Amino acid sequence: MMEELDFRTNNSNGSVKRRLLRVEMESVFGDLPPSGISGSSHNRFTVEKSAITPQECENAVSLTHVGRAGEAQMVDVSPKESTKRIAIASCNVILGKKVFDLVLANQMAKGDVLSVAKIAGISGAKHTSTLIPLCHNITLSHVRVDLHLNPKNYSVDIEGEAASTGKTGVEMEAMTAVTIAGLTVYDMCKAASKDIQITNVRLESKTGGKSGQWSREE
């Protein structure tokens, strides 16, 4: 009799614990399927998966760095044809008048801001595949980084260009070039101000590859 009572007590406690666990899970994930907690991970995935529209599935498939199960993957570019690839990107570094005047007069303690940032941008483009994990390690035939002081808003305008002949584009190399150049401007000037802003990192144009030519429309 005592053993039966203990069994009922334990069974009751187990039911209470399962109900409490279910309530807790529902507070996090929403209503669980009728099958209960058992297999809830699989059932929840099934419910969520069925809620995806065909259009969303089509868009998801177009993300080439995402596998069928949603995992990250590196794209196999071996079937692609080699073409001439060129990409141009830009960004803007807002300095403020005080820092702008110091850079203009080449009076920053670390030295020539624009020259150092130019070299950093070129170096950054060549290390893109190290910084961005799913980018291919490609051979660049040309990298250009130009920096110009803009007195209208006390900023530095940065433009970067990357070129290669191969099976994948160089958009990331161009954007990495201007981003690293912008970060270098910040590093060179941060002793004078912490209010410097790196803004508007974006692709301006690209040519080559299956998608052909693209240019940003203002």
Judge contact between 74 and 136, C-beta under 8 A. yes
Q: Scanning the structure block, which residue is given the tokens 């912490």?
A: 194
What rounded mean pLDDT belongs to the chain? 80
Among the listed residues 101, 146, 157, 187, the single catalytic one is: 187
One-letter amino acid of 172: M
When divided into structural domains, the chain yields a total of 1
Q: To which H or E segment does residue 86 belong?
A: strand 83-94
What whole-number distance in Å separates Cα of residue 116 and Cα of residue 114?
A: 6
Is 46 domain-assigned? no
Is 38 domain-assigned? no
Q: Which long-range contacts (CB under 8 A, 24 or more apart) does 190-196 make?
A: 191/108, 191/109, 191/110, 192/98, 192/99, 192/102, 192/108, 193/95, 193/96, 193/98, 193/99, 195/96, 196/93, 196/94, 196/95, 196/96, 196/99
Is 47 domain-assigned? no
* pLDDT confidence tier of residue 96, bands split at 50, 70 and 90: very high
Is 142 domain-assigned? yes
Q: pLDDT tens digits, residue range 15-30?
A: 555 665 665 666 555 5
Q: pLDDT tens digits, residue range 124-156?
A: 999 999 998 888 889 999 999 999 999 999 999
- Between the alpha carbon of residue 155 and those of residues 50, 56, 102, 104, 122, the distances in Å are 50, 41, 12, 11, 20
Q: pLDDT tens digits, residue range 28-72?
A: 555 655 544 444 444 444 434 445 554 554 454 466 666 666 667
Is 111 domain-assigned? yes
- Give residue 82's pLDDT: 84
Backbone angles phi, psi at 215, to 5 degrees: -140, 140
- 3-state secondary structure at position 62: coil
| Number of Cβ within a 10 Å radius of residue 72 | 9
Of residues 16 and 118, the one with the higher pLDDT is: 118
Q: Domain of residue 128: give its range.
A: 83-215
Model confidence, pTM: 0.68
Active-site annotation holds for 76: no
Is 134 domain-assigned? yes
What whole-number distance in Å separates Cα of residue 187 and Cα of residue 111?
A: 11
